[in-house]
Amino acid sequence: MCKFKRFGRFRIGKPLTRAVRNAKICKDKLLAPIPKCQATNQSINQSIDKIVGFARTCRKPGEVFDFLTRHAVPFSPIGGMTNQNILLDLPGGKFVLRLPHSARAALIDRGHEAFNNDVAYRAGLNVETPVLDVRSGVKLTRYLENAAPLNQTQLQDGRCLRLIAGNLRRLHGGNFAFRNTFNAFDAFRRYFSLLQDKDLFLKADARMDRLADAFWRLEGVCRKLPLRPCHNDLVPENMLLQGEGLFFIDWEYSGMNDPLFDLAAVIEEGRMPSEAADCLLEAYFAGGASDGISARDAAARLTIHRFCQNVLWFLWTKVKEEQGEDFGGYAARRLAAAFELSAVLP
């Protein structure tokens, strides 16, 4: 049985010694580059150029489906929490085409995403991305054969938890930096400014004033925490298991942040029971992650981040729902979790 409380003192993350110099956005095509050794052949590139070129101009799934049908490109719509993803079967391999929802334009900085996406790929954490158009958000990634998102059972399996912990250590301790900082409080201000009907948040519950007070009280604490490259959106669907390897995908919210924000996201998004969460933390810290904090301090930071994430993603969901998207009971679940965690904040 894993017991996080048994640990003494930890040190999280390695110092950043240099920024990545070779991860740049191609200004002429506004695409994220790929290493030449991974470049697709000319015929595939021509097919990709046609498909991406059309998708950039319309981005409406129905029109893209019609285009693919007219050009005899085998395809099938596949899952995606907030984007329309399409599996393409091209002569040289399978690719996933992402069509972002038009309402996401104000929520995501595609330039930051493209830069960080490429850095993560070069670090061996992300899948190959031949195209990421920063104007439209259209993205094309190579499809991973025999890979699948992690499920609830795997999120309680020791082997998978060690893989997650290993990836996070490589991300947080890498000799690279992301282009931007992700801060839950700055993100909250931005999302709240986009919400037309403020009462969708302010009057969601009679206790919202207390919740907001608890949230803003933590801003000063969080701004003093160490910053490392983080994914910041590690829902189970964004972790693909392929044999003995694990890949993190969808780097839309990536940026420099406290490493424990990622651990909190895995635990919260995966609805992990306490024993599985303890095992994840044990695997992460036992691997040499460092920054000189005690288990008690780490646990406090995890609780803070879990609370802040629930508040932030509740607001995010309200913005998306106001724009016509349907998330079912997701918003209610995040709000309920925020209230529950508010009672145990340090």
pLDDT at 27: 33
Query: Do 138 and 261 share a domain, yes or no?
Result: no
pTM: 0.86
CA distance 138 to 135: 8
Q: What secondary structure letter does DSSP report for 273?
A: -
pLDDT at 296: 86
pLDDT at 340: 98
Query: Do 54 and 122 share a domain, yes or no?
Result: yes
Instruction: Report the number of distinct structural domains present in the chain.
Output: 2
Query: Do 191 and 134 share a domain, yes or no?
Result: no
Positive/negative CA dihedral, 61, 39, 244, 288: negative
Q: Is residue 23 part of a domain?
A: no
Query: Do 132 and 215 share a domain, yes or no?
Result: no
Residue 131: beta bridge partners? 140
Report the b/e string of 99-118 with b at 16+ CB within 10 A. bbbeebeebebbbbbbbbbb
pLDDT at 36: 36
Report the b/e string of 319-339 with b at 16+ CB within 10 A. bbeebeeebeebbebbbebbb
- Given 142, 176, 208, the domain boundary residue is 142
pLDDT at 106: 72
- Given 92, 123, 142, the domain boundary residue is 142
Please list the rounded mean pLDDT of every run of 10 residues in the chain (346 residues): 44 36 36 42 78 87 94 89 89 91 78 98 97 94 95 95 97 96 98 97 98 98 97 97 97 98 98 96 80 82 98 97 91 98 97
Q: What are the structure tokens assigned to 229, written together? A: 């490259």
CA distance 332 to 23: 39
**Domain, as residue range, for 177:** 148-342
Query: Do 193 and 264 share a domain, yes or no?
Result: yes
Q: What are the structure tokens assigned to 151, written together? A: 């499920």
Query: Do 126 and 162 share a domain, yes or no?
Result: no
Q: Where are the alpha helices (DSSP H) in the chain?
A: 42-58, 61-70, 110-122, 158-172, 184-194, 199-202, 208-217, 219-222, 259-269, 274-286, 295-322, 330-342
- Given 90, 112, 142, the domain boundary residue is 142
pLDDT at 91: 83
CATH number of the domain enclosing 80: 3.30.200.20
Query: Do 135 and 152 share a domain, yes or no?
Result: no
CATH number of the domain enclosing 250: 3.90.1200.10
Q: Is residue 282 part of a domain?
A: yes
CA distance 226 to 14: 11
